[in-house]
Amino acid sequence: MNINFSKKAIRLLPALLIMTAIFAFSARPSDAIPLSLFERILYKGGHVTGYAMLAIAYWRAFEFKNKGQWFAWILAVLYAVTDEFHQSFVPGRHPALFDVVIYDNIGAFFAVWLAGIFIKQKQLDLQNLVVEKETLAVNS
């Protein structure tokens, strides 16, 4: 087996696990879905959190490269669309475009956007550290 292929497969594993969890949660019949206000907020928060984690997991598979950031977001939203289609086959469930556009999209978008800011800041910190070390070496 090619070692490079194995590394790529391992990097994709978190995304596959999250996709499996999302599929399992969306396969529950509607009578198992909570209805109180608190539980409804928790349920929609699960959408945001789940798709945020999925987008980051996709981006991780792309080794956190700049171009992969927005591709990861798109993949997460596309998976959300397929998940809503899947729900149309679950008893008592129906697809909701609103969930995709609002909760899933927002979760994925803000996750890659905020992670991108964090990664860029860390890169700047590392560059400044290298410059400081070079300056100290020259002045010594």
Over the stretch 90-118, which tens digit does the pLDDT of each residue have? 998 889 999 999 999 999 999 999 999 99
The predicted pLDDT at position 129 comes to 65
| Token couple for 46 | 């699960």
Q: Kindly provide the b/e burial profile for residues 86-119, where b requires at least 16 CB atoms within 10 angstroms of the residue's own CB.
A: ebeeeeebebeeebbeebbbebbbebbeebeeee
CA distance 66 to 120: 10
pTM of the model: 0.82
83-87, 88-92, 118-122: which is most confident: 83-87
Show me where the domains of the chain are located. Answer: 3-139
